[in-house]
């Protein structure tokens, strides 16, 4: 019988294990040099907003005084005067950014500096400079800032069109105010479309991104910036493994337009679209699901003038293949204004080429007149997005007179009043609302400094909210 030296065998196995571990470690990226070379180009951005609408309590805390007494006027004079009821205060926000060029151009997110009265940029050497906004684009969430400085450390740009799922990426930013924190991960997906941002094909990563990272750079393994960290998907408010970055090719297009003309313009087709399912593909004569199915053509739009129809499936746009509906808006948005392009559509089981001349995307307050019954619109004064009720919603709510549905609520007067996405607004200032156009007209004439009743249908009941329009911003 053969005898084995167990001690020797154990040593051999341990050596093999350590060798395999070392091989795996050799494959992992080392980000130390990347962070050392680029940390100085990443900045902390803090903003200050002067608010004038903080409402003080009717009486001091703990003082319970009934209404309707002979002393009402006296109490109002001492405790509830206009000077006491409204006192200015400052609100602050924190984000990240990075230096585009040594002469002081800085890139960050639009939502980081939105409505800011003062922007302070802090560098890695603790030097602080006040920045001015050269331009900011809400639809892409990109803002370009400028500080008066020279010889600043700046980043290198990578080609975001050549990214691949699975490659390593690293973010540097200020999550929760912890400056110059580095987090790494991989690209999880490309060309992601989010409900509120149809013009950006986001880079999805599993890099840990938290509040304060917004506006910071996303680097590839070569130390080149390929994206701007912008959003996370979370049910808790913190990181849950889903982060989204704006590709640098999109961001630099915004930068070029801001430098050239001070604002960003986009191409506009004028259709409502949806994805093509397996069942729809079969019904429309397609071998497999692909393209963007036109569900509505807006009156007076380039699509309407070119002859596009509901039921058309857009397969290519300006020779670019449209695989999904989410792929179309970014392509159209980056098309030059006034350019005539060929669109291949599937109509009645036959492929057809339609030529359309692209116009500039209308401003938010101009879009309602194109939308017809859809009536999608943005009320900048209240900072909300609204749509008309569909026929099905009218039947479900048993509301014959109209109203508008809230689809998005941003920071502003409506949010302060307690308005939420999904609320159905029935009346404002005791005027019954018919549609979005009517609602926009009413909000334009609302008085400032006075509480306005807002009747809202929420869930299974109707409630009143007190809306107050104040001066000095949203």
Q: Which of 141, 179, 197, 379 is catalytic?
A: 141
Q: Vertex 356, ends 352 and 361: CA angle to 5°?
A: 135
CATH code: domain of residue 165: 2.40.10.10
Q: Taking Cα atoms as reference points, which of 272, 265, 271, 270 lies closest to residue 337?
A: 265
DSSP H helical ranges for 298-351: 302-306, 328-333
Residues 189 and 123 in one domain: no
Cα-Cα-Cα-Cα dihedral sign, residues 206, 212, 213, 214:
positive
| 57 within domain boundaries | yes
100 and 163 co-located in one domain: no
pLDDT at res. 71: 47
Q: Is residue 299 part of a domain?
A: yes
Please, are residues 293 and 313 in contact by the beta-carbon 8 Å criterion?
yes
Out of 140, 214, 325, 410, which one is annotated catalytic? 214
Total tally of structural domains belonging to the chain: 4
| Residues 115, 61 within the same domain | yes
Q: Identify the pLDDT of residue 67.
A: 46
Based on the fold, state whether residues 209 and 123 are members of the same structural domain: no
Position of tokens 């084995």?
A: 4
Residues 393 and 430 in one domain: yes
Q: List per-block mean pLDDT (blocks of 10 residues) for the chain, which spans 474 residues.
A: 61 65 64 93 90 50 46 50 51 86 95 91 93 92 94 94 94 91 95 77 94 94 95 77 93 94 91 86 86 87 92 93 90 93 92 94 63 63 83 60 81 87 87 88 87 83 85 52
Q: Which of 211, 227, 261 is where one domain is finished?
A: 261
Instruction: Check 93, 96, 111, 188 and give the catalytic one.
Output: 111
Number of neighbours of residue 72 by Cβ within 10 angstroms:
13
Domain boundary pick from 231, 261, 291: 261
One DSSP character per residue, 387-433 reads EEPPHHHHHHHT-SS--EEEEEE-SSHHHHHT--TT-EEEEETTEEP
Q: Are residues 399 and 438 in the same domain?
A: yes
Do both 185 and 250 map to the same domain? yes
pLDDT score of 216: 95
Q: Which two tokens stand for residue 52?
A: 């004038």
CATH code of the domain containing 314 = 2.30.42.10
Same domain? 105 vs 200:
no
Are the CB atoms for 423 and 458 separated by under 8 Å? yes
Among candidate residues 92, 116, 146, the one where a domain is terminated: 146
Cα angle value 195/197/201 (rounded, 5°): 105
Is 214 an annotated catalytic residue?
A: yes
> What is the per-residue pLDDT for 471?
64
Q: Are residues 169 and 243 in the same domain?
A: yes
Can you give the residue range of the structural domain that contains 50? 39-146
pLDDT at 326: 85
What does the block give as tokens for 474? Answer: 């949203």
Cα separation, 419 vs 23, in Å, equals 57
Regarding whether 167 and 75 lie in a shared domain, the answer is no
| Residue 37 DSSP SS3 | helix
Task: Name which of 169, 237, 157 is nearest 203 in CA terms.
Answer: 169
Which tokens belong to 376? 């999608």
**How far is it, in rounded angstroms, from Cα 416 to Cα 389?**
24
239 touches 210 (CB < 8 A): yes
Is the separation of the CB atoms in 208 and 170 below 8 Å? no
pLDDT confidence of residue 83: 45
Report the pLDDT value the prediction gives residue 87, as an integer from 0 to 100: 54
In this structure, what CATH number is given to the domain that contains residue 381? 2.30.42.60
Q: Is residue 19 part of a domain?
A: no
Residue 438 lies in a domain: yes
Residue 18 lies in a domain: no
Are 247 and 273 in the same domain?
Answer: no
Q: Is 197 a catalytic residue?
A: no
What pLDDT sits at residue 14? Answer: 65
The helix (run of H) or strand (run of E) holding residue 85 is: helix 82-85
Q: What is the pLDDT of residue 370?
A: 58
- Is the same domain home to 296 and 347? yes
10 in a structural domain:
no
**pLDDT value for 64:** 45
Q: How far is C-alpha 167 from the geometric centre of its chain's CA atoms?
A: 25
Exposed, middle or buried: residue 362 (CB in 10 Å: 0-12, 13-18, 19+)?
A: middle
Assess if residue 5 is contained within a domain: no
Interior angle at CA 474, CA 422 and CA 465, nearest 5? 45
Q: For the chain, give percent helix, strand, coil, nearest 5.
A: 25, 40, 40
Is 20 a known active-site residue? no
Q: Is residue 240 part of a domain?
A: yes
Nearest alpha carbon to residue 219 among 269, 260, 184 = 184
């Amino acid at each position: 019988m053969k005898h084995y030296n167990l001690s020797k065998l154990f040593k051999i196995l341990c050596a093999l294990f350590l060798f395999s571990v070392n091989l795996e470690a050799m494959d992992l990226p080392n980000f130390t040099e990347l962070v050392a070379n680029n940390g100085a180009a990443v900045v902390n951005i803090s903003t200050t907003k002067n608010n004038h609408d903080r409402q003080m309590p009717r009486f001091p805390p703990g003082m319970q005084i009934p209404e309707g007494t002979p002393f009402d006027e006296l109490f109002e004079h001492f405790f509830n005067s206009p000077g006491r009821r409204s006192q200015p205060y400052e609100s602050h926000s924190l984000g990240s950014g990075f230096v585009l060029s040594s002469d002081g151009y800085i890139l960050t997110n639009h939502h980081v500096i939105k409505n800011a009265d003062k922007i302070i940029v802090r560098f890695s050497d603790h030097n602080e400079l006040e920045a001015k906004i050269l331009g900011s684009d809400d639809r892409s969430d990109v803002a370009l800032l400028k500080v008066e400085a020279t010889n600043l450390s700046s980043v290198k740009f990578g080609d975001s069109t050549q990214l691949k799922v699975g490659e390593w990426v690293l973010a540097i930013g200020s999550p929760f105010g912890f400056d110059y924190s580095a987090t790494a991960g991989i690209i999880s997906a490309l060309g992601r479309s989010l409900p509120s941002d149809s013009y950006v094909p986001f880079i999805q990563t599993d890099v840990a991104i938290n509040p304060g990272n917004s506006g910071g750079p996303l680097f590839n393994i070569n130390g080149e910036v390929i994206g701007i960290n912008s959003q996370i998907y979370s049910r808790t408010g913190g990181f849950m493994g889903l982060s989204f970055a704006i590709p640098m090719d999109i961001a630099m297009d915004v930068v070029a337009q801001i430098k050239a003309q001070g604002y960003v313009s986009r191409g506009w087709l004028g259709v409502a679209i949806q994805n093509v399912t397996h069942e729809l593909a079969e019904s429309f004569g397609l071998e497999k699901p692909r393209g963007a199915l036109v569900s509505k053509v807006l009156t007076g739009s380039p699509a309407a003038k070119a002859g596009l129809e509901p039921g058309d499936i857009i397969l290519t746009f300006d020779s670019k293949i449209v695989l999904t509906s989410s792929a179309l808006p970014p392509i159209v948005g980056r098309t030059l204004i006034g350019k005539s392009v060929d669109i291949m559509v599937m109509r009645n089981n036959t492929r057809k080429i339609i030529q359309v001349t692209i116009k500039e995307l209308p401003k938010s307050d101009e879009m309602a007149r194109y939308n017809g019954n859809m009536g999608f619109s943005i009320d900048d004064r209240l900072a909300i997005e609204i749509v008309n009720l569909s026929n099905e919603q009218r039947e479900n709510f048993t509301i014959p007179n109209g109203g508008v549905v809230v689809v998005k609520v941003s920071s502003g007067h409506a949010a302060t009043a307690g308005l939420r996405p999904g609320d159905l607004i029935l009346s404002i200032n005791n005027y019954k609302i018919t549609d979005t156009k009517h609602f926009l007209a009413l909000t334009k004439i609302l008085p400032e400094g006075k509480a306005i009743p807002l009747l809202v249908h929420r869930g299974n009941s109707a409630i009143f909210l007190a809306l107050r329009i104040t001066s000095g911003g949203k």
